[in-house]
Amino acid sequence: MSKFLVTGGAGFIGGHLTEALLDEGHEVVVVDDESAESSEKFNWFEESHNYKFSILEKDRLEEIFKKGIDYVVHLAAETKIAITIENPEKCYKTNVMGTMNVLELSRKYNVKRVVAASTSAVYGMSPPPHTEDQECDCLNPYASSKICNEELGKLYFRLYDLEVVCFRFFNVYGERMPTTGFYAPVIAIFDRQKRAGQEMTITGDGEQKRDFIYVKDIVGGILAAVHAPRAQVGGKVFNLGSGKNYSVNQIAKMLEGEYTYIPARVGDARETLADIDRAKHALNWYPKVELSTWMSSFNRKRK
């Protein structure tokens, strides 16, 4: 078994990944400063080694690397879009310099591979389907900082031979998903509104489409990247989405409730749709859970 460091490991995706790694018998170290504004609760597990501090605290982070780490999954980031616009310096400090700390310590202590989270937000208003070679269209400092991280990953692979692979996550949903904040999936927001006895609020005409990907399929992609041959992943970027998309109107109808329309959000992408051929071919990864099937089960559990 291997020893993993998961930054941001107490969050939504990180919690599911940590749980999966523990189930496989791996030793897991989690670093999370609980700063994610979208999380109502954080997912700490007694079986993992848990540390609450920021990835900017390089000295504390180095103490963990000194004890030996085989693989790093880097999920920690500043994702509060409004704050990144108001204070881009904080965004770049956390996301770029924090990532630099992780990569530099991984290089120094001979980590076998680093898997880092990027985002589909880098595509902005670019037309779908979104391919990894498509020109990016960053609409905020968060997306821009993630492009910086991708370039850092490529640099560390080429210059220092550190195996780094980056994933652009699309709209992730599933158990324990956040219900507030910019990156809360619309499914969770609608469910929260329904539980509060409110109508679901649809922005604009509701025909904007999103590629939704189940959180455990995301975990499967990360694990596939950990075990893939070096030539398949080193210095590369992959989309992780379902390859299908649904309109917000369709999601509201799946949840079987009353809804109303509110003004559209400025700068909201009209459509996201992941081209996942690269992940299929390089990682032999395929999403296993269909949104409509999961939603049917979700509805039954809510009644």
Q: Match 């609450």 to its residue by tokens.
A: 52
Which strand (E) or helix (H) includes residue 72? Answer: strand 71-74
Tell whether the torsion through CA atoms of 230, 231, 237 and 243 is positive or negative: negative
Q: Confirm whether 142 is a catalytic residue.
A: yes
Partners of residue 30 on adjacent β-strands: 6, 50
Tokens of 250: 């369709």
Tokens of 182: 């910019």
- Selecting among 71, 92, 142, 183, the annotated active-site residue is 142
Q: Cis ω on the peptide bond leading into residue 129 (within 30° of 0)?
A: yes
Coil, strand or helix at 49:
strand
Q: Match 């970027």 to its residue by tokens.
A: 237
Q: How far apart are CA 280 and CA 120, in angstroms?
A: 17
Coil, strand or helix at 196:
coil
Contact 125, 270 (CB under 8 A): yes
Contact 103, 156 (CB under 8 A): yes
Question: Which residues are the active-site residues?
Answer: 142
